[in-house]
């Protein structure tokens, strides 16, 4: 299957700082990317959907000014957690698909474990 790479896999940051997570599609053009957050023993929660070259669509309850998403190219999307606090500690996962087609599978990155201290 297609490869989606996330970086970093783990990050520890101080409260109040910002953290950027990168999501790259390595062997296909990702027209749509999804960002998820997963707390321990819970399912993945969709945070936002981004289409290349346009603004991300955020799910209800997700602060767009806190979780900045950029999808400027067909192979890269970034999620920046601004002014991180301990409650932002979570497992963040991206997913990418190569067209806006319900008959196309999305592939997932390996996730980023964020710990805010």
Partner 1 sequence: DAKTTQPTSMDCAEGRAANLPCNHSTISGNEYVYWYRQIHSQGPQYIIHGLKNNETNEMASLIITEDRKSSTLILPHATLRDTAVYYCIVRVDQGGSEKLVFGKGTKLTVNP
* CA dihedral sign, ordered 41, 46, 52, 57: negative
CA distance 117 to 108: 27
**Cis peptide bond upstream of 8, omega within 30:** yes
Helix then strand then coil, in percent of the chain rounded to 5, is 5, 50, 45
Q: Applying CB under 8 A, does 46 fall inside the site for partner 1?
A: yes
Q: Applying CB under 8 A, does 67 fall inside the site for partner 1?
A: no
Q: Applying CB under 8 A, does 117 fall inside the site for partner 1?
A: no
Q: Applying CB under 8 A, does 51 fall inside the site for partner 1?
A: yes
Q: Which is nearer to partner 1, 82 or 115 (CB)?
A: 115
Min dist. Cβ of residue 88 to partner 1 (A): 18
CA distance 27 to 44: 24
Question: How many beta carbons lie within 10 A of that of residue 41, not counting itself?
Answer: 5
Q: Applying CB under 8 A, does 34 fall inside the site for partner 1?
A: yes
Q: Applying CB under 8 A, does 29 fall inside the site for partner 1?
A: no
The strand pairing partners of 57, in sequence order, are 49
Min dist. Cβ of residue 91 to partner 1 (A): 7
Interacting residues with partner 1 (CB under 8 A):
1, 4, 6, 32, 34, 36, 43-46, 49, 51, 57, 91, 93, 95, 100-103, 105-111, 113
């Amino acid at each position: 299957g297609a490869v989606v790479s996330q970086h970093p896999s783990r990050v520890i940051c101080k409260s109040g700082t910002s953290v950027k997570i990168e999501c790259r599609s390595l062997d296909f053009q990702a027209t749509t990317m999804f960002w998820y957050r997963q707390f321990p023993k819970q399912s993945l929660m969709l945070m936002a959907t981004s289409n290349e070259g346009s603004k991300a669509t955020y799910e209800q309850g997700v602060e767009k000014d806190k979780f900045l998403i950029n999808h400027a190219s067909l192979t890269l999307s970034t999620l920046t957690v601004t002014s991180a606090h301990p409650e932002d500690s979570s497992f963040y996962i991206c997913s990418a698909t190569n067209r806006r087609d319900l008959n196309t599978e999305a592939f997932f990155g390996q996730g980023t474990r964020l710990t805010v201290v």
